[in-house]
Structure 1
Amino acid sequence: MATKMRKLPSAVLLFLLVADLGWAWALIPSPSPAGLSARRYDSIFSFGDSYADTGNNPVVFAANSVFNLVTRPPYGSTFFGHPTGRNSDGRLIIDFIAQRLGLPLVPPSLAHNGSFRQGANFAVGGATALDAAFFHDGSDPGNKFPLNTSLGVQLQWLEALKPSLCRTTQECEAFFGRSLFFVGEFGVNDYHFSFPTKSLQEITSSVPDVIRTISMAIERLIKHGATSFVVPGTIPSGCMPQFTSYLAKDDPAEYNSTTGCREDYNNLGMHHNMLLQEALEKLRGRHPDAMIVYADLFGPIMDMVESPRKYGFEEDVLTNCCGRPGALICGDEGANLCEKPAARLFWDVAHLTEAAYRYIADGWLGSIDSPVLEIYLGYMYLLV
């Protein structure tokens, strides 16, 4: 019988990638407590930008109130009840994943004084894949932005922390082999920081350098003993309120007539994601014993933009909940705040609400309330 092709949901796609390497139960736990207690991972280590930062931002930007708005209400109001340094009203994808795997929320490496034996988060808001020197043309020797919190710097932070986690090579390989590593999201800031000074063609030409940097970071982590990776692609930044409202162009031809998103910025993101997936496939070939999973950010967010009602979102899906156009920035006193953050996709001009992050996390890992067997049977159905 001919195979009938249809689009697979993200959870099934992730399951297929993982199941192919024999790790299905590690990333999609059983709905029973016994299944959760039998999880594979003892710790989570995360690298990235504001989409993963759980509290390093206030440390890095301590002296800069413009970039430190996340320390003020209403950030964190939905779940934590107070600001935590997260660029959202509540939890991020990494938080939901940690909870799903029965692990503590991953502590920010720069702001946590306790143990990192169960993981550490090195992500920083505004972080780039490429080192800061790439963005300095020499015309302004005093230019210190973006700060040097790149992927390479975050790797150095892990390596500085390593002696407190394990001592011998064998011990480190065993420890990191029981850890889950998130490498990303990276790329958005690399491109956004270049928008004011470079053409889109010049920025597009830098995408291979960004992808190469991510690939080299994974190789470097493998040498430390890491074997399990989740590597998120980039977001559809052309849909951010930052570019659809605050910095909107006058030419309507630059925007998709259906979604309202900037086509050129989204095309850049799709190009990044295509090259990233190709690079990850090559890494799998060189490291067959490693699990390297691509995690889609672009698709789920676009689905929310195109079908907001399916997720319980209001129709003005590209309007941010906190700090509307014409008002103060989210975090400033008197900034506008929507009544129901759970009914919005965007929290502020560049980041998602906890509700949106939850949907993405569910798509990546599958719901604990849905037995893996049902996903497996769905996969078997597709083969007939």
Structure 2
Amino acid sequence: MHTVLCAIFLILQLSSSMPVISSPSSARHYKSIFSFGDSLADTGNGPVIFQRFSIFNPVTRPPYGSTFFGRPSGRDCDGRLIIDFIAENMGLPYVPATQVHNGSFHQGANFAVAAATTLDADFYHERGIPGAPSKFPLNTSLGVQLEWFESMKPSLCRTDRECKEFFGSSLFFVGEFGVNDYHFSFQKKTVQEVRSFVPDIVATISMAIERLITKHGARSLVVPGVIPSRCSPPILTKFDDASPAAYDSKTGCLKAYNELGMYHNSLLQAALSKLQAKHRNVRIIYADYFGPVMDMVESPHKFG
């Protein structure tokens, strides 16, 4: 699935399928990129963090990295991720993973970690939900990644004015967040029970964006929605006890699970619209991952 997603993200970038909710009309030149998220944005943090706790991570071995880098690059992909293509198009270096890179982060930093959730591990511990946040001794949630960013901030700028100018000319990539929250939850909860988590997850993403804007001076943010993960062969195999009626006859995807993704994306877009109305001098972009993936699932012949 990750290899397929690499191709999908290239299509996303080339087709400009990141609709702007609302933004100033003037074009912007970004001097740096700051990225938060999970495996869809992780450029190398996951293997380092997993290794600290003796957790095996297959991305450290071939065929990961074989298509572009010629070696495993720490990405859950055999080539580049969307964040890599964005950096290339902006004329910036690939966004360095903070757990790997030892140099300067003045042109950007990547805090994303594979398997990261939106909500903190305590949320899942309290509900008896197994998975990466509870099975592993890890907590790399959105809130934790923001704390890592804030710890780095003094090394990037010193005064409020300097920070405002620096982060105002940076692009913030916040996500994808949500897929892992739902994936881990499905191991113990029904679709309806997991659906009740969506408002909390979207609210957490919204609060993180508000924090980046008001506390740190972010002026340009890309916020991806979730993918239709229940079209993925590994996920379909894991949930192979579903009844025939649970599958979409056209695509073979699990309907109820993908409807949950659409619900998440609709709430997220509404939350971003409210934030945009509140912060009119800020550019907030919703990145549609769901639609292009479904287009490939429904019409694979169009993509070779």
How does the TM-score come out when normalised to structure 2?
Answer: 0.90
1:13, distance to aligned residue in structure 2 (A): 6.5
Following superposition, the deviation at residue 307 of structure 1 comes to 1.0
Q: Is the 8 A contact 2:19 2:288 kept in 1?
A: no
Distance 1:92 1:206 in 2: 28
2:25 corresponding residue in structure 1: 22
Per the TM alignment, residue 249 of structure 1 is displaced from its structure 2 partner at its CA by 2.5
Please tell me whether residue 79 in structure 1 is matched to residue 71 in structure 2.
no
Contact 1:130 / 1:213 at 8 angstroms: preserved in 2?
Answer: yes
CA-CA distance at 1:243 after TM superposition: 2.2
2:136 maps to 1:145? yes
User: Are 1:165 and 2:156 matched, yes or no?
Assistant: yes
One-letter code aligned to 1:262:
L
Q: Would the aligned equivalents of 2:42 and 2:112 in 1 still touch at CA under 8 Å?
A: yes
Task: Give, as a single letter, the amino acid of the residue that structure 1 aligns with 2:273.
Answer: E
Secondary structure of the equivalent of 1:293? strand
Report the equivalent of 1:115.
104
Trace 1:122-201 onto structure 2 (pairs within 5 A). 122-137=111-126, 143-145=134-136, 147-201=138-192
Between the aligned partners of 2:128 and 2:250, the Cα distance in structure 1 is 41
1:143 positional shift: 4.4
Q: Could you tell me which residue of structure 2 aligns to residue 215 of structure 1?
A: 206
Report the equivalent of 1:5: none
* Mapped contact 1:132–1:146 kept (Cα < 8 A): no
* Compared CA separation, residues 211 and 15, structure 1 to 2 (3 A): closer
Aligned to 2:272: 280
Q: What's the % identity of the aligned pairs? A: 63
Query: Quick one: which amino acid aligns to residue 156 of structure 2?
Result: L
Q: How many residues align?
A: 289
Aligned partner of residue 223 in structure 2, secondary structure? strand
Residue correspondence of structure 1 range 333-348 to structure 2 within 5 A: none
**Any conservation in 2 of the 1:71–1:83 contact (CA below 8 Å)?**
yes
Q: List alignment gaps of at least 5 residues for structure 1.
A: 1-8, 27-39, 313-384
Give SS of 2:65's match.
coil
Give the secondary structure class of the aligned counterpart of 1:300.
Answer: helix
Larger radius of gyration: 1
Determine the C-alpha separation between the residues in 2 that align with 1:208 and 1:139. 20
TM norm structure 1 = 0.71
Answer whether contact 1:75 1:89 (CA < 8 A) is retained. yes
Provide the C-alpha distance between the structure 1 equivalents of 2:20 and 2:184, rounded to a whole number of angstroms. Answer: 36
Say if 1:277 and 1:67 are closer, same or farther in 2 by CA, change over 3 A. farther
2-structure distance, mates of 1:304, 1:217: 31
* Structure 1 residue 61 corresponds to structure 2 residue 50: yes
Mapped partners of 1:175, 1:16: distance in 2: 22
Q: Structure 1 residues 231, 140: closer, same or farther in 2, change over 3 A?
A: closer
**Larger displacement relative to structure 2 (66-75 or 157-166):** 66-75
Q: How does 1:187-336 map to 2 (within 5 A)?
A: 187-222=178-213, 223-312=215-304
Please identify runs of 4+ aligned residues in structure 1 that moved more than 3 A: 9-18, 63-67, 138-146
More helix by share: 2
> SS where residue 44 of structure 1 aligns?
strand
Cα distance in 1, alignment partners of residues 225 and 45 from structure 2: 22
Alpha-carbon offset, residue 245 of structure 1: 2.8
The 10-residue stretch of structure 1 (281-290 or 131-140) with the greater mean CA deviation from structure 2: 131-140
- Answering whether residue 95 of structure 2 is matched by residue 95 of structure 1, we say no
Q: State the 1:138 CA deviation.
A: 7.3
In the TM superposition, residue 66 of structure 1 has moved relative to its aligned partner by: 5.3
For the aligned residue pairs, the C-alpha RMSD in angstroms reads 2.2
Deviation at 1:50, TM superposition (A): 0.3
Q: Which amino acid aligns with 2:163?
A: C
- Compute the displacement of 1:273 (Å): 0.1
**Once the 2 structures are TM-superposed, how far is the Cα of residue 248 of structure 1 from its aligned partner?**
1.8
Deviations 1:9-51 (A, max 9, x none): 9956646646x5214x33xxxxxxxxxxxxx100000000000
Q: CA deviation at 1:65?
A: 6.0
Please list every run of 5 or more consecutive structure 2 residues that lacks an aligned counterpart in the other structure.
Answer: 1-12
1:343-358 residue pairs with structure 2 within 5 A? none
